[in-house]
Each structure stands twice: as structure tokens, then as C-alpha cells.
Structure 1
Amino acid sequence: MPKINYVTSGKTFEVPENSNILRMSLRYDGDLPNRCGGGLCGSCVCKVEKGAEFLDNVKKQERRKLGDELLSQGYRLGCQTFVNGGDVSLSWSEEITNFVKKRKPDKLEKEATPQA
């Protein structure tokens, strides 16, 4: 079974295949910030530190909320992302979380992204 390492909270959990990052954080108290669980608010944005190859494909909602720039830097939405086949390490920061929460999908091209 794969493991999810929530680097920021210092917690690691063994999870079943095809587990959702946010759901596993809620189940095992991984402390990943969250609010809506549907990819709308952006609260669960996290950076994939290791194991990106063990995550499913980027969803439309992630592309709309994060934009290509944040996706290319390794950010994903925990509520939209599933782990398959190997261990994953994730981190998050208040600065990026607040930035993503304020983003409006229709204004992605007009906003400058902070460097993390």
C-alpha cells in the first residue's frame, strides 16, 4: 500500500490504492487545510515534493483553479488528486493557500504567481 507523507504536519500514513489526498488527510488527521472538498475554494492546494508519478492526471477543476504555472511548479488540489502505486510527499504553505483561494478561474492569465 502507498504512503502519503504530509511533510508540513510531519505525518505519514499508509493508505489504500486510489486514495484521495484530502480524504486521507481528513480520515487520519494529516492537517491538510480544506474547506469545500470540491475544487472550488483552493484551500487544499499542496505541492508534490516527491512521487508525482504516482498521482492521477490533473483534473479540469485543478487546471481552472491553479493554472498551468502552478501546476508546472508541482502544485495540486488535494480534493481532486488520487494516489496510485507508490509513496507521495506533500507540503503546503499559508502564502500559496491564500493566493490560490483568492484566484478566480476566469482571471488566471491576468494574475502574477508568487514564486515558492
Structure 2
Amino acid sequence: MPNIHFVNSQKNMEVPEESNILRMSLRYDGELPNRCGGGICGTCVFKTEEGAEFLDNVKIQEKRKLGEEWLAEGYRLGCQTFVTKGDISISWDEEITKQVIKRKPDKLKKEVSSAK
């Protein structure tokens, strides 16, 4: 079973595979900040310190709220992210959280298919 290390709260927890980061934080008191749980507010933004390869694919809500620049720097939303088969280490920063909360979600461009 994977382990999640919450750097800020110095808590480690063994969790089942495919566990949601925010739900595990709430269940085991990992102290990841949160408000809405739906990828809208951005309060649960975290930075992956180790083990990014053990996180699932980025969701549409994360792309909209964080944008490519934050995602490229290793930021994800705890409410939208699941740990897969390995250990991860995450941290969060109050100043980054404030910036993400203020950010208006991007309007994703619809891909136009050129079906003939």
C-alpha cells in the first residue's frame, strides 16, 4: 500500500491504492487545507515533492483552476488527485494557495475534429 507524507504536518499514512489525497487527509488528519472538495475553490492545492509518477492523470478541473504553468511546476488539487501504486510526499504553501484561490478558471478550448 502507498504512503502519503504530508510535509507541513509531518504526518505519514499508509493508504489503499487509488485513494483520493484530500479524503485521506480528512480521514487521517493530514491537515491539507480544504473548503469545497470539488476542484473549484483551489484551497487544497499542493506541490508534489516526491513521487509525482504515482499520481493519477490531471483532471479537467485542475487544468481549469491551475492552468498549465502551475501544473508544470508540480502543483495539483488534493480533491481531484489520487495516489496510485507508490509513495508520495506533498507540501502546501499559504501564499501559493492564496494565488490559486484568486485565479479565475481558464476556459478550455474545445478541440475541433476534422472528420471527413
TM-score greater than 0.5 by the shorter chain: yes
SS of 1:46 mapped into structure 2: strand
Matched, 1:35 2:54: no
Map residues 12-91 of structure 1 onto 2, 5 A cutoff: 12-91=12-91
Q: 1:12 is paired with a residue of what secondary structure?
A: strand
| Residues 47-105 of structure 1, C-alpha deviations (whole Å, 9 max, x = no match) | 00000000000000000000000000000000000000000000000000010001101
Counterpart AA for 1:80: Q
How many residue pairs align between the two structures? 107
- 1:41 alignment partner AA: C
In 2, distance between residues paired with 1:105 and 1:38? 13
Residues 67 and 106, structure 2, Cα contact 8 Å, conserved in 1: no
SS at match of 2:89: strand
The one-letter code of the counterpart of 1:44 is C
**TM-score when normalising by structure 2:** 0.91
Q: Deviation string for 1:9-44 (max 9, x for gaps)?
A: 110100001000000000000000000000000000
SS at match of 2:79: helix
**C-alpha distance in 2 between matches for 1:46 and 1:91:** 6
Task: List 4+ stretches of structure 1 deviating above 4 A.
Answer: none
Stretches of structure 1 lacking an aligned partner (at least 5 in a row): 108-116
The alignment's TM-score, normalised by the length of structure 1, stands at: 0.91
Taking only aligned residues, the RMSD between alpha carbons, in angstroms, comes to: 0.9
Distance 1:106 1:97 in 2: 17
Question: 2:110 corresponds to which residue?
Answer: none
> Relative to total residues, which structure has the larger helix share, 1 or 2?
1
Identity between Structure 1 and Structure 2 (%): 74
Query: What's the CA shift for 1:106?
Result: 3.7
SS of the counterpart of 2:13?
Answer: strand
Larger radius of gyration: 2
